[in-house]
């Protein structure tokens, strides 16, 4: 759910980023661009996921130790190939492509894995280091940009002024209020779905920024 949420958010961000750079798009162009990126990424991910399952089935001999290593290598290669094909060749969403390829492999691949535990541990490790590196780089780059623009005193860059911090705080308030409104709208569904969600649960979800 989190991957799907982030993938769709990235597609929408790219569309609006192009608009912010001055590209002349109509509302229809935005919708078509979104559909091409989203549906194209899903389709490519589905194809690569099934191809990966085909090859995983061909190296699914538990009596051969090397097949476990080959299977792990196949899943890693699939992730890179899906993203490269989507972003560089077909210009569709690589994030959604990788997501749906992973969903396909996870749905049908477990009986094929020589070492399900090994596969899980490797991908948990990749996820941990990937997340750590991503947030470290994001924080470093953002901090550097803030420091550079806060100390800028000429016309070569834009200064960060007091009102910019005020806008940031206001944006945070709107984000929190928007999350609360979203929960209020879907509360009847949450209350009567599965084990049900109470108002106290909704407060925790709202304050914690949880989804799903």
Q: 156: pLDDT confidence band, cut at 50, 70 and 90?
A: low
pLDDT at 155: 62
Least confident of 20-29, 36-45, 162-171, 195-204: 20-29
Least confident of 69-73, 132-136, 205-209: 205-209
Can you tell me the distance from the alpha carbon of 10 to that of 110, in angstroms, rounded to the nearest whole number? 29
Can you tell me the distance from the alpha carbon of 126 to that of 73, in angstroms, rounded to the nearest whole number? 12
Buried/exposed 102-121: b ≥16 CB within 10 Å, e otherwise: bbbbeeebeebbbbeeebee
Q: Please write the tens of the pLDDT for every residue from 93-136.
A: 898 899 899 999 999 999 999 989 999 999 999 989 998 998 89
Helix (H, G, I), strand (E, B) or coil at 156: coil
């Amino acid at each position: 759910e989190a991957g799907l949420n982030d993938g769709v958010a990235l597609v929408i961000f790219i569309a609006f980023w192009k608009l912010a750079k001055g590209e002349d798009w109509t509302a229809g162009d935005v919708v078509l661009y979104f559909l091409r990126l989203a549906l194209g990424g899903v389709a490519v991910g589905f194809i690569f996921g099934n191809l990966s399952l085909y090859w995983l089935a061909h190296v699914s001999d538990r009596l051969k130790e090397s097949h476990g290593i080959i299977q792990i290598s196949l899943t890693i290669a699939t992730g890179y190939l899906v993203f490269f094909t989507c972003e560089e060749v077909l210009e569709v969403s690589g994030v959604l492509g990788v997501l749906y390829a992973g969903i396909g492999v996870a749905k049908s691949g477990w009986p094929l894995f020589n070492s399900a535990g090994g596969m899980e541990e490797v991908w948990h490790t990749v996820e941990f280091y990937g997340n750590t590196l991503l947030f470290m780089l994001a924080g470093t780059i953002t901090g550097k940009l803030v420091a550079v623009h806060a100390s800028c005193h000429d016309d070569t860059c834009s200064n960060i002024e007091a009102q910019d911090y005020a806008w940031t705080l206001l944006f945070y308030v709107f984000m929190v209020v928007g999350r609360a409104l979203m929960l209020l709208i879907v509360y009847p569904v949450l209350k009567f779905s599965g084990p049900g969600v109470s108002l106290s649960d909704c407060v925790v979800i709202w304050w914690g920024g949880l989804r799903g």
